Amino acid sequence: MGQELEQYKRAVEQSNIVSKTDINGIITFVNDEFCKISGYTEKELIGKNHNIVRHPDVPKETFKLLWDTILQKKTFKTTAKNMAKDGSTFYVNTTITPILNKNGNIEEFIAIRYDVTSNIMLTEALKSKEEELNFLNSMLETRVKEQTRKLRELNQNLEKRVAEETEKNREKDRLMFQQARLAAMGETISNIAHQWRQPLSELGIVMFTMKKHSIEGNEKGVQKQYEHAKKVIAKMSKTIEDFRNFFSPDKKKNSFLIKDMIEDILSILEGSLRKSAVSVELNIDEGITAYGYKNELSQAILNLINNAKDAFSDRHIDGRALKISSKREGNFIILSVADNAGGIDDTIMDKIFEPYFTTKHASLGTGLGLYIAKIIIEDSMNGTICVKNENEGANFIIKIPTN
Ligand SMILES: Nc1ncnc2c1ncn2[C@@H]1O[C@H](COP(=O)(O)OP(=O)(O)OP(=O)(O)O)[C@@H](O)[C@H]1O
Ligand SMILES: [Mg+2]
């Protein structure tokens, strides 16, 4: 071997991990680098099969391919996973080259490698981190999904609870309306009593006269009183009918004349207004027609009139006057109920439409009158109601659309 070649050999051996085997794979040479990386001494290696550094993870096929290649006198290149004496793993980029003799037959194999353990380890660490990351990512995804599902559930529960609360509120409203209806019924009975006072005393007189005629044998007189009594009784029964109609709930919306509605209300209140010495002044434009639930609107106006009546007697007002007026303004009907009972104190002005707000003794007021009136006007009639103090009293103004 020339000197130059010897230098090449040394350069290769110094910078690489080199081993040689015979044609059967028995180690015939190792350099220091090989001993260092494998952990074996040269003595331990020489004469052993090269598979001494084989790693159990490496599949058999790899070795079959290796041997197939090099026995065909070709160079084999691979990144090999090997096992050192202490069981640790090292990776080497390996090139195995068959060395041929003069006759072209394989004499031995030389394997030249360099250490890529740290590269591979890094790559593997990276891979495992990547896997960890992927895992975390998928965990995150499932957790996000889980949270989303929980949130959705919560949302649904919330919706359910809102619906429940709404239902409860509706129930409360229903109760309130029932309460108000009971109160109205009480008032109705007292109104009927007022309406009946006069015909009842009339009947008393008729009975007395009848008895007198009967004793006198005045049959014609008896007959006349009898007819009279029948008329009075018919009138009394009509009063009941009027009340019944007035308080029965409307089944559907209808067109009705404001004038008719107000007159109906006043005919029902006639007795009690007379007793409270309230004079009523009407100022209603002819032909104003509203569309909606007549009895409900009547109820609202009745509540306003009852309030005025209460204010008159609470405050012992002289010259009690109630003004009810109605006119058209564009596409609206304006209805006003005004009294001269002193008006509403500024401090309670913004509370009077609240449910259960009352300044009256518990036995005299539930505080629902104006609340119900407001609900009826806003919800059933799409209108508004407001109040202002003027002309020594309260003026309630209702505004409802004409269509
Ligand atoms: N015309 C009015 N003049 C003076 N105060 C009024 C008038 N209308 C209402 N108020 C005041 O507003 C309060 C609330 O009226 P609302 O009709 O809602 O209840 P109430 O009359 O007290 O009780 P209810 O009508 O249930 O019997 C009354 O208690 C009263 O203080
Ligand atoms: Mg009232």
Q: Which atom of ligand 1 is nearest to the CA of 396?
A: 1
pTM value is 0.58
In-domain check, residue 237 = no
Question: Regarding beta strands 279-284 and 321-329, do their DSSP bridges make them parallel or antiparallel, or are they unpaired?
Answer: parallel
Contact 265, 302 (CB under 8 A): yes
Domain presence at residue 240: no
CA of 367 to the centre of ligand 1 (A): 7
| Domain-terminating residue out of 86, 115, 144 | 115
CA of 342 to the centre of ligand 1 (A): 13
Predicted local confidence at residue 278, as pLDDT: 96
**Token pair for residue 368?**
């629902």
- Tell me the two tokens of residue 330: 């564009």
Q: Looking at the domain assignment, is residue 57 inside a domain?
A: yes
Domain assignment present for 285: yes
Distance of CA 290 to the CA centre of its chain: 37
Query: Which ligand 1 atom is at minimum distance from the Cα of 366?
Result: 26
* Chain center to CA of 95: 71
Last residue of a domain, one of 115, 144, 178: 115
Distance 118 CA to ligand 2 centre (A): 93
- What is the CA(311)–ligand 2 centre distance, in A? 10
Q: For residues 108 and 22, is the Cβ–Cβ distance under 8 A?
A: yes
Q: Indicate whether 258 belongs to any domain.
A: yes
Q: Which tens digit of pLDDT belongs to each residue from 86-130?
A: 999 999 999 999 999 999 999 999 999 999 999 988 998 899 999
pLDDT tens-digit profile of 175-215?
Answer: 777 777 777 777 777 778 877 888 899 999 999 999 999 99
Q: What is the arithmetic mean of pLDDT over 17-41?
A: 96
Q: Whose CA is nearest to atom 5 of ligand 1?
A: 344
Under a CB-based contact definition with an 8 Å cutoff, are residues 359 and 348 in contact?
yes
Tokens in use for 389?
């103090």
Instruction: Answer yes or no: is pLDDT of 1 > 60.
Output: no
Q: Give the closest residue to 177 by CA, choosing from 268, 247, 258, 269.
A: 247
In the chain, the number of structural domains is: 2
Residue 95, sorted as left (phi over 0), alpha (psi -120 to 50) or beta, turns out to be beta
CB 261 within 8 A of CB 234: no
| 329-341 exposure pattern, b = at least 16 Cβ within 10 A, e = fewer | eeeebbbbbbbbb
Q: Give ion ligand 2 contacts, CB < 5 A.
A: 307, 369
| Ligand nearest to the backbone CA of 355 | 1
Element (H, E) at 161: helix 117-215
Q: Beta 76-83 vs 89-100: how paired, if at all?
A: antiparallel
Specify the DSSP class assigned to residue 377.
I
Residue 183 Cα: closest atom of ligand 1: 27
CATH of residue 43: 3.30.450.20
Q: Is the CB of 177 under 6 A from ligand 1?
A: no
CA of 358 to the centre of ligand 2 (A): 8
Say which CATH number the domain at 260 has. 3.30.565.10
Give domain status of residue 150, yes or no: no
Q: Is 359 in the pocket of ligand 1 (CB under 6 A)?
A: yes
Which of 9-18, 23-32, 123-132, 357-366 shows the lowest per-residue confidence on average (mean pLDDT)?
357-366
Confidence (pLDDT) at 36: 95
User: What pLDDT does 386 receive?
Assistant: 97
Residue 262: which domain range? 249-401
In a domain, 339, yes or no: yes
By alpha-carbon position, which residue is closest to atom 20 of ligand 1? Answer: 367
**158 in any annotated domain:** no
Cα–Cα distance measured from residue 56 to residue 181, given in angstroms and rounded to the nearest whole number: 94
Is the Cβ atom of 375 under 6 angstroms away from ligand 1? no
**Domain's final residue, options 82, 115, 148:** 115
| Cβ atoms of residues 333 and 315 within 8 Å | no
**Ligand 2 centre from 254 Cα, in Å?**
26
